[in-house]
Structure 1
Amino acid sequence: MRMNRLSSAAKMLVLIALVSYGCGGKPVENQTAESKQPSEEIISVPGSLVLNPGDNNPRNSEGDFIELEDGKILFVYSHYYGESSSDHATAYLAGRYSEDKGRTWTSEDVEVLPNEGGMNVMSVSLLRLQNGDIAMFYLRKNNTDDCIPYMRISKDEAETWSEPIPCITDDEGYFVLNNDRVIQLEDGTLMLAVAKHAGPGMEWRGRADLFAYSSTDNGQTWKRSEMVPNPKEIVLQEPGLVALADGSILMVIRTDAGVQCFSYSKDQGKTWSEVEESTLVSPVSPATIERIPETGDLLAVWNNNLSEDPDVAKLRTPLSSAISKDDGKTWGNYKTLENDPDGWYCYIAMDFVGDDVLLGYCAGNRPAGTGLSVTKITKLGRDWFYKD
């Protein structure tokens, strides 16, 4: 059935199912011994902030952190209003502040950006630029065929924001840029990765075309890379980027292959290697991987879900972490942060604050239908991730 023959309502239902529950992962044979199922004891790391839905607020999700010059930390997230919690319902960008490095947070929202989209604004990435400004990236979602990332700049520590700058001007369509996904390279180049699901004359599909966009003028103009090669036609979605020690760029990709997949660029994101499977077992759910500043190691937080039961293998639980000391070739120090079998853990934001790691992620209850509606912030010591 061709998506362009479906009604807008039908398109929306398909999109909601794709993003909320994934396309259904398959179990992968011969995984490493370090890929572990959750233990019987339910683990739940303590949260310093839990944003539950409420009246006229059916969902709170997909945020990111920024440290301000006065020592405060700002967490910006998607605050939904109205009756619906779908990915295409109304939402604006809201913020909470912490004055004690993420231990406690303000109790009331501030509006960071009103809803300027036909549907919503969501999926925030915050980045301190090398010139000292703060860049805020987000999706402006007008309809199921029109969704692209925009950037705004703040020169006064997130008090006010510039006019929006579109990050994609050479194409039209439905592009996904996840939260906490934009990076700046040592030479100042800004880079983001997007998944294109629809466009003019293009049949809407879950298996997206992946591209990187880069800017050498602090986001004023952007250029697109060549498409990521996908000869096996794996379902590719929700990519993220990590700069590696040798100067290459790693693209981390949500897939239906039962693992996270990787692609590499050795030319500043202009071209990409063929998609390959990593050893990070995963349902159809995104991973966040970032470099620990003090050690140089990579920290991954994702759903380390290994099961021969396909109904279990597609679930976004447990929430796990692992460390790589060789830029993602191998992983160790596997830990479990959350393993409630009814939990739904995804869309992780990560920030390193002194000796601690701040994590913000969706942490709702699947049977209750609040999987993407609850956001939790937790603070853990960096050493916790290294313990055996």
Structure 2
Amino acid sequence: MPTQTNPHAHLPSVPSIYAARAAAAPLPRVPWQHPICQPLTNLRRGSFLPLKDGSLLCVDSQGAAISRDDGATWSETLPAAHGQKAQEPAACALQETAPGHWVMVFLDILSPRRHFGWNDQTGEPDAASCLELHAILSPDGGRTWSDRQMLLDGYNANFFGFIRTTKGRLVLVAEHLVTGPARWVCCSLVSDDEGATWQRSNLIDIGGHGHHDGATEPTVAELGDGRLLMIIRTNLGFLWQAFSEDGGRYWREIGRSPLDASSSPGQLVRLQSGRLLLVWNRRDPEDGPWPASTQGLPFSEFPASWHREELSAALSEDDGAHWSRPVVIARLKGGHLSYPQMFERRPGEIWMIPGFASRKWFNEDPVPFAVRFAEQDLRQLSTRAG
């Protein structure tokens, strides 16, 4: 069978777009942050979780540690049984079901079985492709860990949603690579016994073909009426959304959201005020349209925007029916700010740490960057856009 040809070869590549914009940008280049944002410095690079006692948990490639002064100092680092590495964001997440009882989900990045191979002739991954999704429990604040259990086999990738609902259910949203044709699909995994056992939902499949195509890198929040809202990265110019009426067991209402987006994930959080907050990369930067581009098949079936210079934030007062006018909170022209990790450190105080922050395309020449901002300041900047 002949190698597939690329019908979009006349379009610019993603790296070439970023290289041209970086060359035109003034130096030295550091990320611009909106005046409502304050810098967060000297943070560990890992997954964060505010604990019930007010302290802050971080799990990174070194293990688990707790800070009681917003990251200025950290406790002893305890070994954490997971496969994380510092360079890979959105591959580990935690929930606290009771004081000291932690549930951690993670991609086993350091497994010797980890492998990804792609056959350009068939347009499919090879059969040995493997990146497993696991869960593990600690009943004593990270001093000991249970035997891990595999939640999804095959090949899985980054995720942006692991929540505990008001009824106590743990809900993880994940992406999974399927074949025939190769594409990504999304699902949820739920536990009603503090992570001891799990059930998988139906698969959310919007089509596509390519190792970066389909429904990818989901995030999730609980709505005021108890439904769940999943927001999904796509290559279709918009984030897509799915709703569950049974706590993530099934997803039966699926469609395009009103939020334009590049091919990049966002993070959705339900704030203690009841508002929803989303941070993501829009389809175009504020200074004009972003070229449709292709990395070349088999990356994606159709061209898409890969804009990642700006991170925008929007609020919803009505469970996602309408969103406020997006506000750019961070920018690095010619560079890369994406894969946001976001959490409410205390009521109304938002911390946001991009998983990728670099002066060039895809983590080349990385730059440290993390900010915090107030919900009310963002709200005052935004006006509703229906």
TM-score (norm 1): 0.71
2:275 is aligned with 1:297: yes
* Maintained 8 Å contact 2:339/2:356: no
Q: 1: distance between equivalents of 2:265 and 2:290?
A: 20
Q: 1:264 to 1:116 in 2, by over 3 A?
A: closer
2:355 is aligned with 1:365: no
1:73 pairs with one of 52, 56, 66: 56
Q: 2: distance between equivalents of 1:219 and 1:73?
A: 21
Secondary structure of the residue aligned to 1:209 is strand
1:134 pairs with one of 86, 102, 105: 102
Q: 1:383 to 1:333 in 2, by over 3 A?
A: farther
2:372 is aligned with 1:379: yes
Correspondence for 1:341: 333
Q: 1: distance between equivalents of 2:104 and 2:257?
A: 30
Correspondence for 1:99: 68
1:23-57: CA deviation from partner (whole Å, max 9, x where unpaired):
x9xxxxxxxxxxxxxxxx94364432257xxxxxx
Q: 1:116 to 1:249 in 2, by over 3 A?
A: closer
Q: 1:69 to 1:107 in 2, by over 3 A?
A: closer
* Maintained 8 Å contact 1:96/1:106: no
Q: 1:343 to 1:209 in 2, by over 3 A?
A: same
1:248, CA displacement in angstroms?
1.4
Secondary structure of the residue aligned to 2:132 is strand
1:174 pairs with one of 152, 155, 166: 155
Q: Whose Rg is larger?
A: 2
Correspondence for 2:23: none
Q: 1: distance between equivalents of 2:308 and 2:107?
A: 23
Q: 2: distance between equivalents of 1:177 and 1:212?
A: 13
2:327 is aligned with 1:327: no
* Maintained 8 Å contact 2:172/2:188: yes
Structure scoring higher RCO (CA < 8 A, sep ≥ 6) equals: 1
Q: 2: distance between equivalents of 1:161 and 1:217?
A: 16
1:57-95: CA deviation from partner (whole Å, max 9, x where unpaired):
xxx96x321234654312334xxxxxxxxxxxxxx3555
Which 5+ residue runs of structure 1 have no aligned equivalent?
4-20, 25-40, 52-59, 78-91
Correspondence for 1:143: 115
Q: 2: distance between equivalents of 1:2 and 1:157?
A: 55
Which one-letter code corresponds to 2:136 in the other structure? R
Secondary structure of the residue aligned to 1:352 is strand
Q: 2: distance between equivalents of 1:121 and 1:362?
A: 8
* Maintained 8 Å contact 1:121/1:138: no
Which 5+ residue runs of structure 2 have no aligned equivalent?
4-13, 18-30, 117-128, 294-304, 382-386
Secondary structure of the residue aligned to 1:146 is coil
> What is the RMSD computed on CA atoms of the aligned residues?
3.6
Secondary structure of the residue aligned to 1:383 is helix
Q: 2: distance between equivalents of 1:250 and 1:368?
A: 31
1:278 pairs with one of 257, 265, 268: 257
* Maintained 8 Å contact 1:323/1:332: yes
TM-score (norm 2): 0.71
Q: 1:291 to 1:175 in 2, by over 3 A?
A: same
* Maintained 8 Å contact 2:78/2:142: no
1:86-122: CA deviation from partner (whole Å, max 9, x where unpaired):
xxxxxx355565432x3x534899464366589x986
Which one-letter code corresponds to 1:48 in the other structure? L
* Maintained 8 Å contact 1:137/1:152: yes
